Structure 1
Amino acid sequence: MAKFAANLSMLFTEYPFIERFAQASHAGFHGVEYLFPYDFSADELVSQLHQHNLTQVLFNLPAGNWQEGERGIACHPGRAKEFRRAFPGQ
């Protein structure tokens, strides 16, 4: 049987982002993914995952300045420090 993860950036958009974890759980999902979670602390996200018995399966890494056309910074050696900030505690 196929396993699907709820993309919380795309689904349940009638709810604020942080409330979408509960909605995904209520809909029967066990895994979630989302695009850019950087408006929320890692602690907030982990709390939601644990509270609703969900597994995070994917999230997008920093894209840089989206409005100026950037679509990722991992490949730019001069931006390694900025990239690493996406991984608190590392």
Structure 2
Amino acid sequence: LEKGFNILGVSLDREGQKDKWLKAIEDDKLTWSHVSDLKYWDNAVAIQYGIKAIPQNLLIDPQGKIIAKNLRGEELEAKLAELIVVGKTF
């Protein structure tokens, strides 16, 4: 949170896939927080935010409003820099 935001990985894995999911996190050295209810497409977060395909990334403000979707590379870096510069936290 030192830059004013958190990263959270939400997995849409299924029951019986937990060990594989956790191994992928470790193998890929993903250091941020990860959650999964192992309910696949019935995942509450996927339903709440209308996730229809994976992978996706969302920038969500503290009120739960989506402020950007599926940004990658330079576009993502620019949006994060913009939010940090204007003092917004999310």
Q: Same fold (TM over 0.5)?
A: no
Higher RCO structure (Cα 8 Å, ≥6 apart): 2
